[in-house]
């Protein structure tokens, strides 16, 4: 998944990507901005001020940590939670962050929200 091109996003850009998905709502989690759809957690900004905690499919995390070691990682706290990945947004490829957010959203979105996203993509 590693590739050339422009690296990194700002937190404002991450927020805009998340909120562009139908039904995504911003709130807080552990005192940081967080994103949910249908009241279910998708992602939040980490307390370190540099990373995004995003919900991923089990098994995906280890692949991404291997493929994108400069941007994808976990802390000891998350070692026992295979559904969470940390992403250093300033080091990450924008396309990766966009895909992670959309994948997490798709697993939780309603059929109506999925249809709305499909219409937006046309």
44-60 CB burial, b ≥16 within 10 A, e <16: bbbeeeebbbbbbeeee
Answer for the pair 25, 36: CB distance below 8 angstroms, yes or no: yes
Segment 92-111 shows an average pLDDT of 95
Q: What average pLDDT does the structure give for the chain?
A: 91
Query: Is residue 6 assigned to a domain?
Result: no
CATH of the domain at 102: 3.90.1150.30
Query: Is residue 2 assigned to a domain?
Result: no
Q: Please, which contacts does 70-79 make with residues 24 or more away whose CB atoms are closer than 8 Å? A: 71/96, 78/53
Query: Is residue 1 assigned to a domain?
Result: no
The count of domains in the chain is 1
Q: What is the pLDDT of residue 108?
A: 94
Whether the pLDDT of residue 3 is over 80: the answer is: no
Identify the domain containing residue 98 by its residue range.
11-112
Query: Is residue 21 assigned to a domain?
Result: yes
Query: Is residue 118 assigned to a domain?
Result: no
């Amino acid at each position: 998944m590693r590739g050339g091109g422009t690296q990194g996003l700002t937190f404002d850009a991450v927020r805009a990507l998340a909120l562009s998905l139908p039904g995504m709502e911003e709130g807080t989690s552990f005192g940081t901005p967080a994103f949910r759809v249908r009241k279910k957690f998708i992602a939040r900004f980490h307390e370190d001020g540099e990373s995004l905690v995003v919900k991923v499919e089990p098994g995906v995390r280890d692949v991404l940590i291997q493929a994108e070691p400069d941007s994808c990682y976990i802390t000891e706290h998350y070692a026992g939670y295979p559904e969470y990945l940390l992403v250093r947004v300033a080091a990450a490829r924008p396309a990766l962050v966009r895909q992670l957010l959309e994948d997490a959203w798709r697993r939780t979105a309603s059929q109506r929200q999925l249809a709305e996203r499909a219409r937006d993509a046309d």
